[in-house]
Amino acid sequence: MRHFIWLISVFLMTFVTLAAASDGPIGSIKTTKGTASIVKQEKVILAKSGERIFEGDILRTGADGSLGVIFKDDTLLSLGPNSELAIDEFLFAPAQGKLSFVTRMLRGTAAYLSGIIAKLSPESVRFETPVGSVGIRGTKFVVKIDEK
């Protein structure tokens, strides 16, 4: 009987951990100014303080817009006017050793301050741009992508 209860416990813990690591929100909007939106599964919604961010979302700002985002691992990200950034991958399950943060900066400006993922596994954080990829080894940086 003890063995059966142990198996059930392990199964439930694994299921809950996997569900939490893959489907839940990965962060939230902290500040907005001007025109700012989130593209969620091809639907564009107005970005507002408290709005939850998920893996696969695209963050956009207009000519008068800016966004401030905080992620589950305490990473801080700010976008300036006319910016677009895709959140391609975010895994934050330190107990299972699953750590990854991959973004794609498509245009505009961004300021980044690293969180726990970059501290525990710097090689798991990547900031991609149209002309290259930045591996995060420090704690902060600013990037600007000029439009062609």
Residues 2-27 have a mean pLDDT of 56
Number of domains in the chain: 1
Provide the 3-class DSSP secondary structure of residue 110.
Answer: strand
pTM: 0.79
Residue 105, strand partner residues: 85
State pLDDT tens for residues 50-82.
999 999 999 999 999 999 999 999 999 999 999
Listed in sequence order, the residues at least 6 apart from 147 whose beta carbon sits closer than 8 Å to its beta carbon are 82, 107
State pLDDT tens for residues 24-51.
999 999 999 999 999 999 899 999 999 9
Helix (H) or strand (E) holding 113, with range, is: strand 98-113
112 pLDDT more than 90: yes
Q: Say what the pLDDT of residue 131 is.
A: 78
pLDDT band at 18 (very low <50, low <70, confident <90, very high): very low
Q: What per-residue string of b and e applies to 29-59 under the rule 16 or more CB within 10 Å gives b?
A: beebeebbbbeeeeeeeebeeebebebebbb
Q: Say what the pLDDT of residue 21 is.
A: 45
Mean pLDDT of the chain: 85
State pLDDT tens for residues 114-126.
999 999 999 999 9
Domain of 59? Answer: 2-145
103 pLDDT more than 60: yes
